[in-house]
Chain A
Amino acid sequence: MTVTAPSTTRADASGDPYLVVEDLTVRFPTEDGLITAVQGLSYSVQKGRTLGIVGESGSGKSVSSMAVLGLHDPKSARITGSIKVDGQEVVGLPESKMRKIRGRQVSMIFQDALAALHPFYKVGGQLAEAYQVHHPSASKREARRKAIEMLDRVGIPQPDRRVDDFPHQFSGGMRQRAMIAMGLINDPSLIIADEPTTALDVTVQAQILDLLQDLQREFDSAIIMITHDLGVIAEMADDILVMYGGRGVEYGTAKNVLMRPQMPYTWGLLSSVPDVTGDTDAPLIPIPGNPPSLLSPPPGCAFHPRCTHKDKVEGGAVLDGPARAGAG
């Protein structure tokens, strides 16, 4: 089950990947048994590139990226495999060292900024706090100036005034911008954006995505974009990882995954999205059935009970491990 980086990525490679995830497995013991939320996942991201992780709810997208930041409670999560950030292994890294990476080398932009920002503290204070924790020598005034600068950078009007607002005084789009400003305040090399535009309307969504791309060019950071929105992925991603039932089922360059998907699940995903440029009357084809149980996943390929092509696989032997789009 070893997965190599997509061949095309290698061709573009401008250096070693910043993040390398290898054979990552995340399990949660529960009263009903062991839940395997992520199994045998491998991928890598380079600076200046965007990896899109797609999958339905419960496919392990968020769980796997939270593992990169070490945000799982060690008492309730069992993590095996390897996650290397800039060459440093973070699986099993002590909390005190992990803290230096969080927000500094790797930062996370969460969905639903209203819930993800503390309602009781001023936006500027929350930004300044993120800066000060990694710049202990910075004065309060410097941190505040940095916060204003970042708010300005993400396009918040009158940042020197809005810095003293509370999150609830911001509009939804502004809150998400503030969230991004907080994620970027320490110039991280890797940004994990967990559905950053889900709660926003389409025009704001487009602005936020443009902003992320501009900032990526400016800071030359790597981005992991987690989403279930294939439109967002098509616009943003250089590479795509499709997840299903806790596994990476397809991994390749955006062009190959979207144009020549190898895995029936990816076909299913693509044909369940309306195509506005084509025949708008064409019926959408939903994927039948329900997502697999993570407690007792089906044997072999977790997708096979829902797969319309399973009969074509000889002897019912099903694919185990990710398909590589365009690899052949």
Chain B
Amino acid sequence: MYAYILKRLISGAVVLLLVSFSVFALFWYGPSEPARAMCDTKTSNRCTPERLAVFTEELGYDNNIFAEYGRYVGGIFVGRDITISSVTVQCDAPCFGLSYSTGKPVWNDMKKRLPATVSVAVGGAFLYLLIGVPMGVAAARRRGSLADKALVSSFLVISSIPYYLFALLAYLYVAVYWQVPWLGEPGYTPITQNPVAWFGGLALAWLCLGVFGCTQYTRYSRGSMVEALSEDYIRTAKAKGLPTRTVVYKHALRAALVPIVTIFGIDFGTLLAGTIFTEKIFDINGIGLWTLTAIRAMDLPIVSATAIFSASVLILSNLAVDIVYSALDPRVRLS
């Protein structure tokens, strides 16, 4: 198993190299001058061709792409000093370069934004599962009943609303119109600074993600549970004289969880990579919004840093899914 994890981590590292190099090359050979963003920032949008040439040289865009990429990767591991307009900035490891818009090391910003995104993702995902799976199980046990049909169709309605509209309406009604007292002003406060404000500021974002996401998880777990309940081994469990609770939760649910875990791994990875709408609507300075702004500003160091981050998150969550999968199903051997 450890050998398997090591193997997966090595192949993950190869994927990360490919991803980061692709982003790097995209900027390098893209239709826009890669140094223009930095040039605009430093000259207050009075970037002349002469100045652009200077920045292009300073940022190394006149060098060989592989040599520059090598320097970039080296910086991630050991840090490096970067000199721009005769100012040298010490960029410690992990150094993803200096932001073209702020001139500061990318990692400094990222460090501040990560806890916000992780908070949103963990809380949202927790609610997905906490609401979705039990509802799906309950619906599966009563399948065909009025309650089941009502649940399935009302969730179909909710999930067919575009998410941004759903979140906006929730924000408008709950935070602005009703001003629900126990929900604070939406926004992000570090948990170390004020746990109550942290909770209050994120609660509505969690609820939105949770309610919207749980409609899907209810559907998945209902379907998966209906299938599990029709298995022969469930009939065996009943024939043994086991109480219904044991049959449903010990025998059926464990089998039903396998596909849910797979979907959840991917979803959670996507959540961690940033939730643009949620961050925008609930005023949370997270990774998603940051990525969006950076792409529009052609800020290569931020874009490649976030690309590396989301790729790593997806690789790790897929690995976690495989490990959980093998823990659930003894027939799965990790090798």
Q: Closest approach, in angstroms, between the C-beta of A137 and any C-beta of chain B? A: 16
Bound-state Cα–Cα, A232 to B117, Å = 66
Closest to B329 in A: A120
Interface positions, chain A 74-132, Cβ under 8 Å from B, are 75, 95, 99-104, 107-108, 110, 112, 115-120, 129-130
Interface contact B239-A103, CB-CB below 8 Å: yes
Known: A119-B330, A119-B331. A71 touches B236 (CB 8 A): no
Q: Closest approach, in angstroms, between the C-beta of A111 and any C-beta of chain B? A: 9
Mask of B214-247 contacts with A, CB within 8 angstroms, 1/0: 0000000000000000011101111111111010
Interface contact A120-B255, CB-CB below 8 Å: yes
B180 in the interface (beta carbon within 8 A): no
Interface positions, chain B 285-335, Cβ under 8 Å from A, are 328-331
Residues of B within 8 A of A166 (CB): 330-331
Bound-state Cα–Cα, A116 to B251, Å = 12
Closest to B328 in A: A120
Q: List 11 A-B contacts (CB under 8 A).
A: A69-B239, A99-B242, A102-B238, A115-B231, A115-B232, A116-B233, A118-B251, A118-B255, A119-B331, A120-B330, A166-B330
A140 in the interface (beta carbon within 8 A): no
B254 in the interface (beta carbon within 8 A): yes
Residues of A within 8 A of B254 (CB): 120
Count of B residues near A, CB < 8 Å? Answer: 22
A212 in the interface (beta carbon within 8 A): no
* Size class of the contact patch on chain A: 20 to 34
A67 in the interface (beta carbon within 8 A): no
A241 in the interface (beta carbon within 8 A): no
A134 in the interface (beta carbon within 8 A): yes
A182 in the interface (beta carbon within 8 A): yes
Q: B-contacting residues of A (Cβ < 8 Å)?
A: 69, 71, 75, 95, 99-104, 107-108, 110, 112, 115-120, 129-130, 133-134, 166, 168, 182
Give the secondary structure class of B's interface.
helix
Q: Closest approach, in angstroms, between the C-beta of A266 and any C-beta of chain B? A: 30
Interface contact B236-A116, CB-CB below 8 Å: yes
Across the interface, B233 reaches (CB within 8 A) one of A99, A104, A117, namely A117
Known: A120-B255, A168-B331. A129 touches B233 (CB 8 A): no
Known: A95-B244, A166-B330, A166-B331. A118 touches B239 (CB 8 A): no
Interface contact A130-B329, CB-CB below 8 Å: no
Across the interface, A71 reaches (CB within 8 A) one of B233, B239, B251, namely B239
Bound-state Cα–Cα, A47 to B156, Å = 55
Bound-state Cα–Cα, A103 to B236, Å = 10
Interface contact B330-A129, CB-CB below 8 Å: no
Bound-state Cα–Cα, A103 to B239, Å = 6
Q: Closest approach, in angstroms, between the C-beta of B130 and any C-beta of chain A? A: 23
Mask of B234-275 contacts with A, CB within 8 angstroms, 1/0: 011111111110100001001100000000000000000000
Residues of A within 8 A of B232 (CB): 110, 112, 115-116
Bound-state Cα–Cα, A101 to B238, Å = 11
Across the interface, B241 reaches (CB within 8 A) one of A75, A112, A119, A134, namely A134
Closest to B142 in A: A75
Interface contact B240-A130, CB-CB below 8 Å: yes
Q: Closest approach, in angstroms, between the C-beta of A29 and any C-beta of chain B? A: 11
20 more A-B residue pairs beyond the given contacts A99-B243, A118-B233, A119-B331, with a C-beta to C-beta distance below 8 A: A75-B144, A95-B244, A101-B241, A102-B241, A103-B240, A107-B239, A110-B239, A117-B233, A118-B251, A119-B233, A119-B255, A120-B254, A120-B329, A120-B330, A129-B240, A130-B240, A130-B241, A133-B241, A166-B330, A168-B331
Query: Which of B236, B238, B239, B329 has the largest number of chain A CB atoms within 10 A?
Result: B239
Residues of A within 8 A of B242 (CB): 99, 129, 133
Q: Closest approach, in angstroms, between the C-beta of B251 and any C-beta of chain A? A: 6
Interface contact B329-A119, CB-CB below 8 Å: yes
Interface contact B235-A110, CB-CB below 8 Å: yes
Residues of A within 8 A of B144 (CB): 75
The 3 closest A-B pairs by CB, nearest first: A103-B241, A102-B241, A115-B232
Interface contact A104-B241, CB-CB below 8 Å: yes
Bound-state Cα–Cα, A264 to B82, Å = 97
Interface contact B329-A118, CB-CB below 8 Å: no
Q: Closest approach, in angstroms, between the C-beta of B331 and any C-beta of chain A? A: 5
Residues of B within 8 A of A116 (CB): 232-233, 235-236
Across the interface, B239 reaches (CB within 8 A) one of A102, A115, A119, namely A102
Bound-state Cα–Cα, A118 to B241, Å = 15
Across the interface, A118 reaches (CB within 8 A) one of B236, B238, B243, namely B236
